[in-house]
Amino acid sequence: MTTSSSPGRPRDPEVDRRIARAALDVFGDTGWAGFAMETVARRAGVGKASLYLRWSSKQALLTDALGEGLPRVSDVDTGTLHGDLVELATQMLGLYAGPSSRAALRLSVEAGSIPGVAEHYEALRQAQILAARAIVRRGIARGELPAAASVTLLLETLMGGAMMHALTTPPERRPELANDTAAHARRLVDFLMHSVTAGAHA
C-alpha cells in the first residue's frame, strides 16, 4: 500500500492491510458521505493518529485502500480464448461476490464525484476495458471466434452475466460462490461460446 509516511518510519504490513480492509468496509457500508478517518481507525482497531501519520487526507486513504484491497480485472493469456474468458469471468465474480463487493458497487456509482478518486477510478476502468478487449481480439486473431463477432456485445454479456450472478446469489450462498468462482465462470463461458459459435455456423 502506498502511503505518505515519513522516510524511515517503521512499517507494519499487517496494520496497513487491516486499515485497507476497514476503509473498504466503511466505504461500502456508508459511501463517501459517511467515510471518515475516525470511523476507519475505529473499525481497524488503530489510533486515529496512525492514519494521519500515513495519509494526509481521506481521499488519499481511500485511493490507497482501493488499490490494495479491491480485486483487479486484468489481462490474462492462457493460450486459448476459452481459458482467458473463464479467468476474466472468475475475476469479475471474485470482485462482486467477495468481501469487497459493496465497496466495488459504491465505487461504480460514486467515484466520479469524489475528488482525487475519480481520476484513479477512470484510469483503472479504462485499463480493465482495454485488457478485456485485448483478450477477445486475440481470440478472433487465432480463429477461435468469427471475425464478425462483436467484441463489445460478447464482453457485455460475459461481464454483465458474471456481475448479476454474484449480486443475485442469496447472501447465505455467497461465501460458497466466492470460494469456487471458477466453476460458475466455466459454465458461463461454455454457454456464451456455444451461442456465439453456433450463431456463426447457422
Nearest to 91 by CA among 77, 67, 72: 72
The pTM score is: 0.80
- Does residue 42 contact residue 117 with C-beta atoms inside 8 Å? no
Q: If you search the block for the grid coordinates 458461463, which residue do you land on?
A: 188
Q: How confident is the model at residue 5 (pLDDT cuts 50, 70, 90)?
A: very low
Q: What is the pLDDT of residues 49-68, one digit of tens each?
A: 889 888 989 999 999 998 88
Phi, psi of 103 (to 5 degrees): -65, -40
| Structural domains present in the chain | 13-68 (1.10.10.60), 72-201 (1.10.357.10)
Question: pLDDT tens digits for 142-154?
Answer: 999 989 889 999 9
Cell of 50: 496512525
Sign of CA dihedral 93, 98, 176, 87: positive
Mean pLDDT confidence for 84-112: 90
